[in-house]
Amino acid sequence: MDLGFLQFELDYYPVTIYQFMNVPLALMFYHLSITGHLPLAARYIFLMIGGILMAIVSMGPYAVLVLIPSIFSVIFIHSLEPRIVHKFTFLTQMGWQTLCHLWLHYKDYYLQEATDIKFIIALSSLMLLTQRVTSLALDVHEGESRIPARIMQKDGVGWNMLYCLLPHFSYMLYFPALLGGPLCPFQMFRIHVENLNRSGKKCIAKPLCVTAQSNQGPLQWDASKDILLIWITALMFRLAYYSQWLLSESLNNLVGLGLDTDRTGKATFSDADIWTLETTNKLSEFARTWNRTTAGWLRRMVFQRSKVQPLMSTFAFSAWWHGLHPGQIFGFILWAVTVKADHHVHRYVGSLTAGSRVLRMFYKVLTWMQTQLVTAYILVAVELRSPSGVLVLCKSVSSVCPLLYVLVLIGMSNKPNKN
């Protein structure tokens, strides 16, 4: 198997350079805030202007793809009634993002031209913006976040309107989250900005939610080695994801965001729970933990609101949000099927090993290996994206791992529940 096709995907993403460029800006913001040199309005402005400047530097002319929907989304949220604000902003934001993805498809598959990396960065940032826009709109729709009363005063209308709009504009464009997650709910963002002097001093040293542009040639797999090579390839992809997640989380922490923990002491504002991802023997737990804040966003946006096949609807929407490349459609639908099959395996087979410690250990090791191989297969399919990559994967011996779960789903899905 020739690993040359990985050169582009596994290059240190250019966005990482821009993230490091944000570090001095983040340190300056945090220092000025905790020393009292930045009043509240100035903090919001600092975060917003920093985001605008970084968008221009990293995206060039494509920055308008992010700036335009940021402006209109805030206007919609402040002008529409709460009962319709989520549906309207969701459709307009996803419509805009889909048009941008279709343009990428046109360049990739029809013109077969290399796409400007600045456009890729802009599209990645647009996907993250979609998370913030829809999350805030749903907060407003559900009453968790209240938009200040409409500006009705005759005096000082301009300043009052600016005061109302500023936190939301800042939330859409604040520079630590412009190029990478994790997704920060608006209420958490506002609380942290208003109370920076109470923040701790956590700093650890995301890829983006978008996959890198790939222009690989034909692939040839050695049947005797392709399982190991796919697993190694997926591991390289995961390491790239982990490093970018940790970098983005650190950048948010530098400005005083993301220091909350739950009852167990785990960070609630983090995408990278590497230990769980590498040790879990359950595909459903892997799905919930992978890119955790995005998984939570998908659960809230789709899974909890879908009345028909919520699991399949969630993964189908994830494929849409990622761009609907052939490999993504194949990978996310396969992920949904294997998660459902994995549930049946743990439910029916897991109970058979409960009485024996040795069998239980053997069962956990076996299902851990299956989880690792299935997720590796799916990750490679999603990252390759192209029809040729999907075709090669389907012909490889590695297809046996997810195929086993497909057969399990067919054979066990009609069994009655025992609960």
Quick: pLDDT tens for 86-140. 999 999 999 999 999 999 988 887 788 877 889 999 999 999 999 999 999 999 9
When the pLDDT of each residue in the chain is averaged and rounded to a whole number, the result is 81
Predicted pLDDT of residue 262: 54
Find the catalytic residue in 22, 291, 325, 343. Answer: 291
Confidence of residue 359 (pLDDT cuts 50, 70, 90): confident
Is the pLDDT at 332 greater than 80? The verdict is: yes
Find the catalytic residue in 86, 101, 322, 325. Answer: 322
- The proportion of the chain whose per-residue pLDDT surpasses 90, expressed as a percent, equals 38
Is the pLDDT at 141 greater than 80? The verdict is: yes
| Residue that has been written with the tokens 């031209």 in this structure | 113
> Annotated catalytic, 322?
yes
| Residue 103 main-chain phi, psi, to 5 deg | -65, -40
H or E stretch covering 380: helix 357-384
Predicted pLDDT of residue 154: 43
Predicted pLDDT of residue 268: 61
Confidence of residue 194 (pLDDT cuts 50, 70, 90): confident
Predicted pLDDT of residue 10: 41
Is the pLDDT at 395 greater than 90? The verdict is: no
Confidence of residue 266 (pLDDT cuts 50, 70, 90): low
Instruction: List for the chain the helix, strand, coil content (%; round to 5).
Output: 75, 0, 25
Predicted pLDDT of residue 11: 45
Confidence of residue 295 (pLDDT cuts 50, 70, 90): very high
Distances (CA, A) of 140 to 85, 146, 295: 8, 6, 21
> Annotated catalytic, 291?
yes
The alpha carbon of 303 is separated from its chain's Cα centroid by a whole number of angstroms, namely: 16
Please state the domain extents for the chain: 1-207
